[in-house]
Amino acid sequence: MSEALLIKGGCVVTMDAARRRFDPGAVLVEGSRIAAVGPSQELAAAYPGVASIEAAGALVTPGLIDAHNHPIHYLSKGLADDLELSVRSYRNIWPFEAGLTPEEAHLSSLGTFAEMIRGGTTCFVDPGSPRPHEVARAAAEIGIRGVVSREAWDLPDENAPAGLLEQTDAVLAAGEEVVERWNGAADGRLRAWLSLVRPSSVSDELCRRTKRRADELGVGIHGHLVASRTEDRDTQRVVGSGSAVPRYAELGLLGPNLCLAHLGWLEDAEIELLLEAGVKGVHCPSASMLGGFGVIAHGRFPELVEAGVPVALGSDAAAISRFLDMVRVGYLAACGHKDARIDPTVMGADCAFEMLTSGGARCVLWEDEIGSLEAGKAADLVVWDTDGLEWHPNPLANPIRNLIYSASGRSARTVLIDGNVVMRDRVIANLDLDPFLAAADAAAAAVRARLGLEVGAEGGRAAGATAG
């Protein structure tokens, strides 16, 4: 029993199929697995002398899942502020991605993962990076769970920096090499998928071959889809076909192992196609709000959820969202559509929390291991402090709604991933924060200087200004 650990005395929200809740409850961890969940008094009596973490008065939940995030962008914060989507991509974001050294990509990914852990996120999904090995190495070092993939882009674009665009055979070979090296690595905490960056950047041949190899390898495919209202037009211009969803359907891409982020501009028939094929979706409300994508005001996520399409939540990236706090992302998902639809019953905190946990696990094809606190599953969990003013009065009367509507990721006190305590009392175990922050500041300045990128470059309009 030397590896056993009992998290006891807290309000345990399991997110299992029966949505059981124990208050006070306890979670017994043995090695990397949850051994038992139940009333605190019963488990404490059954396992005397086991090392414990006291959680009295706290909330205990499954770890949160960030189902769409580009980890290499921690050092790029500020480069996407108040800029048109095409401008920020061509001028800042793509050159940043292409210009990072391996060491900078590793450092940047560490920052993303540290910020995630501090906010209670235990699992991430990277939709594709030009530096996937550095992302994976950083994830393995800090102890987070996640999915990595190699960015896939084979259609010409005059604005694409050298290094992002490759020939189809090279794209596929690089993606498969990442799967071979990292799928199942870090004691199973890491998985690897294939990528299709966006419909206007991937050829029909790449789409077909990616689907075939993903099915053969038993892995997922992750990509962006209709994030903006111009994306279908861009796809039409490049590949000569119309809407992205019907195109993907015709190419045979749609299926249970396809996970698509943003999904901002869909027709009813396209929702039906996604549902019938078992496609998974990821809602990134903070990215849409900062970037002006229109997903909250014009998107169809309430309809996707109502139809039964599995939906998770994502932060997108440190530069694109400007924060990686998935509780705050959950708040935007829970509330944004209420305002857009003028209907306070749309979505809500319980729906958002399911997207962050059990529903998110289904979307990232990991529901057999994570997303709920159940015996036999991986021990990924968060202990949340509820003693702040924002939690009171009655912090545990309806704890999930209190977490989503009133609190933030700053309430995360202790985090376990795969049974390892990766943060205890808000101290991250595998990263010395002060030296890291100094190194990150220096590296960000060096990247900007080398690539000619500016934080705070002109963008947006001042208060009272009008478009001219």
Average pLDDT over residues 106-129: 97
DSSP secondary structure of 306-337: HHT--EEE--B-HHHHS---HHHHHHHHHHHH
Return the pLDDT at 8: 97
Return the pLDDT at 457: 55
Beta strands in 40-114 (DSSP E): 51-54, 59-62, 64-66
In the beta sheet, which residues pair with residue 125?
147
Measure the CA–CA gap between 333 and 349, rounded to whole angstroms: 8
Which segments of 126-267 does DSSP mark as H helices, in order? 132-142, 168-182, 204-217, 231-239, 244-250
Average pLDDT over residues 293-313: 94
Answer yes or no: are the C-beta atoms of 143 and 136 closer than 8 Å: no
Judged against a pLDDT cut of 70, whether residue 27 lies above it is answered with yes
Distances (CA, A) of 209 to 241, 246, 263, 350, 441: 19, 18, 23, 39, 41
Identify the band that residue 258 occupies on the pLDDT scale cut at 50, 70 and 90. very high
When comparing pLDDT for 11 and 468, which is higher? 11
Phi, psi of 67 (to 5 degrees): -85, 0
The dihedral built from the CA positions of residue 276, 280, 286 and 288, taken in this order, carries a sign that is negative
Return the pLDDT at 233: 62
How many CA within 13 A on the CB side of residue 308? 6
Measure the CA–CA gap between 321 and 466, rounded to whole angstroms: 25
Measure the CA–CA gap between 142 and 137, rounded to whole angstroms: 9
Helices then strands (H, E): number in the chain?
19, 18
In the beta sheet, which residues pair with residue 27?
7, 37
In the beta sheet, which residues pair with residue 311?
281
Identify the band that residue 241 occupies on the pLDDT scale cut at 50, 70 and 90. low
62, amino acid identity: P
Distances (CA, A) of 423 to 146, 183, 206, 408, 419: 17, 25, 41, 17, 12
When comparing pLDDT for 59 and 241, which is higher? 59
Q: Which of 228-237, 280-289, 459-468 has the highest mean pLDDT?
A: 280-289
In the beta sheet, which residues pair with residue 384?
59, 412
3-class DSSP assignment, residue 80: coil
**What mean pLDDT is reported for the chain?**
92
How many CA within 13 A on the CB side of residue 84? 5
Average pLDDT over residues 255-264: 95
How many Cβ atoms are within 10 Å of 339's Cβ, its own excluded? 12
Return the pLDDT at 231: 64
When comparing pLDDT for 463 and 107, which is higher? 107
* Own/partner pairs, 392-401, CB within 8 angstroms, 24+ separation: 395/57, 395/59, 396/11, 396/23, 396/57, 396/59, 399/11, 399/13, 399/59, 400/13, 400/61, 400/349, 400/350, 400/353, 401/349, 401/350
Answer yes or no: are the C-beta atoms of 433 and 397 closer than 8 Å: no
Average pLDDT over residues 429-442: 97
DSSP structural state of residue 195: E
C-alpha angle with apex 77: 328 to 384, nearest 5 degrees?
A: 30
Average pLDDT over residues 214-224: 97
pLDDT digits (tens, 9 = 90+) for 381-399: 999 999 999 999 999 999 9
Measure the CA–CA gap between 126 and 67, rounded to whole angstroms: 8
CA 203 remoteness from chain centre: 26
Average pLDDT over residues 87-112: 92
pLDDT digits (tens, 9 = 90+) for 42-64: 999 999 999 999 999 999 999 99
Q: Of 129-133, 238-242, 343-347, which gets the smallest average pLDDT? A: 238-242
Measure the CA–CA gap between 463 and 298, rounded to whole angstroms: 25
Return the pLDDT at 468: 37
Kindly tell me the burial class for residue 52, based on how many C-beta atoms sit within 10 Å of its own C-beta (0-12, 13-18, 19 or more).
middle
Q: Of 34-48, 157-171, 230-244, 406-420, which gets the smallest average pLDDT? A: 230-244
In the beta sheet, which residues pair with residue 415?
382, 423
Domains belonging to the chain, first-starting first, are 4-63+375-428 (2.30.40.10), 64-363 (3.20.20.140)
Identify the band that residue 466 occupies on the pLDDT scale cut at 50, 70 and 90. very low
